[in-house]
Structure formats: structure tokens, C-alpha cells
Amino acid sequence: MSGKTTFWTSVVAGAVVGGLLSLLNKDAREYSKHKLAETGEAVKYYTTNPDVTVQKVKQSVETINELISDNSKSALQAIEQVEGTVNKFLK
């Protein structure tokens, strides 16, 4: 278990160090400031409008559900085609 902890601790530490080093670049700092401001505005909007937040989450869940359903149907059709081909080959 300690190997797993050491690994993830090292990954996080490497990401933090890499992120800090990237901020030495002026363009990266400006981009970070811009994205942080955008994120802050979005969080502010969604916390003050929970009805919109719930609606967006609902839409996202429905979209994901449809994608999963469509992909599972396609996968089943592909398996049935393979099964049919195998059965023809075995006969």
C-alpha cells in the first residue's frame, strides 16, 4: 500500500512543480489568470442560479445516458454479426 501512496504523492508533487514552473512564462500566467477569472464567474453564476445548475446537470446526464444506450446497442449488433459469421464458418 505504501508504494501506491508514494506513487500518487509523487504524481501530484510533479504536477504542482510543473504548474509552478510553467508560470515563469508570461503568456502562461496571463492564460492562467484569464481561465481562473472565467471559472470564478461561472462558479458565481451557478451558485446564484441553482435552478440553471440543476437543469444543466440533468441535460448532461440525459445526454450521457443516450450515448451509453446507443453505444451499447451498436456493440450488441456488432457481437451478433460476429456470432453469425462464426456460426456460418463452423457449419
DSSP 8-state secondary structure symbol assigned to residue 25: S
Residues 6 or more apart in contact with residue 32 via CB below 8 angstroms? 23
pLDDT (tens digit, 0 to 9) for every residue of the chain, 91 residues total?
A: 688 889 999 999 999 999 999 999 999 999 999 999 999 999 999 999 999 999 999 999 999 999 998 888 888 888 989 898 888 888 7
In the chain, where the domains are located: 24-90
Compute the half-sphere exposure of residue 62: CA atoms within 13 Å on the CB side of its CA: 6
pLDDT at position 1 is 60
Using CA atoms, how far residue 5 sits from 10, 15, 17, 51, 78, in Å, is 8, 15, 18, 39, 41
